[in-house]
């Protein structure tokens, strides 16, 4: 269904496609995504960066981690914590953090000098043999 929504930043009226049951707030959210004002474009860019960072977390700590030679970190709470850290960084609440997961694995999430969110996994493997 075609309807009208308003950008929540500049209040520009925008024709949008939305479900029949969409609320006024949902219509305005959709309109904001399509608005070309500076604040709306910044918000869209930030949302895209958050999604990319969440995908990187999944790559490094989820099922895809095994392709890189890492063990899967299956605890949903840990993934939720890392996703929340990404949200805090994207919203400029913190600059980064390091999470020690299991004595061997560390997750470092930070902002680069270029403003990109970095996801890093370090895994210490140590062998000691005595003869």
> Which secondary structure element, helix H or strand E, spans residue 86, and what is its range?
helix 76-90
64/106 same-domain check? yes
Instruction: Provide the domain count of the chain.
Output: 2
53/98 same-domain check? yes
Which residues touch 84 (CB under 8 Å, ≥6 apart)? none
26/83 same-domain check? no
118: domain range?
Answer: 49-123
> Do 61 and 73 contact (CB within 8 A), yes or no?
yes
Tens of pLDDT, residues 56-79: 999 999 989 999 889 999 999 999
Question: Can you give the pLDDT at residue 129?
Answer: 76
* Tokens of residue 48, six digits: 């895209």
Tens of pLDDT, residues 18-55: 888 999 999 999 999 999 999 999 999 999 999 999 99
Question: Can you give the pLDDT at residue 126?
Answer: 65
72/101 same-domain check? yes
68/119 same-domain check? yes
Tens of pLDDT, residues 96-128: 999 999 888 999 999 999 999 999 999 886 667
β-bridge partners, 92 = none
24/55 same-domain check? no
Domain-embedded: residue 25: yes
> Do 79 and 87 contact (CB within 8 A), yes or no?
no
Residues comprising the chain, all counted: 131
């Amino acid at each position: 269904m075609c309807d009208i929504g308003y950008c929540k930043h500049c209040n520009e009226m925008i024709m949008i496609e939305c479900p029949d049951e969409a609320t006024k707030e949902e219509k305005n959210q959709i309109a904001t995504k399509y608005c070309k004002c500076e604040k709306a474009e910044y918000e869209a860019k930030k949302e895209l960066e958050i999604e990319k960072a969440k995908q990187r977390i999944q790559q490094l700590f989820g099922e895809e981690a095994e392709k890189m030679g890492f063990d899967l970190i299956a605890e949903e709470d840990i993934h939720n914590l890392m996703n929340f850290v990404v949200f805090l960084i994207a919203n400029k609440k913190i600059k980064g953090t390091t999470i020690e997961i299991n004595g061997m694995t560390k997750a470092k999430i930070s902002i680069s000098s270029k403003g990109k969110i970095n996801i890093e996994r370090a895994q210490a493997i140590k062998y000691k043999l005595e003869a």
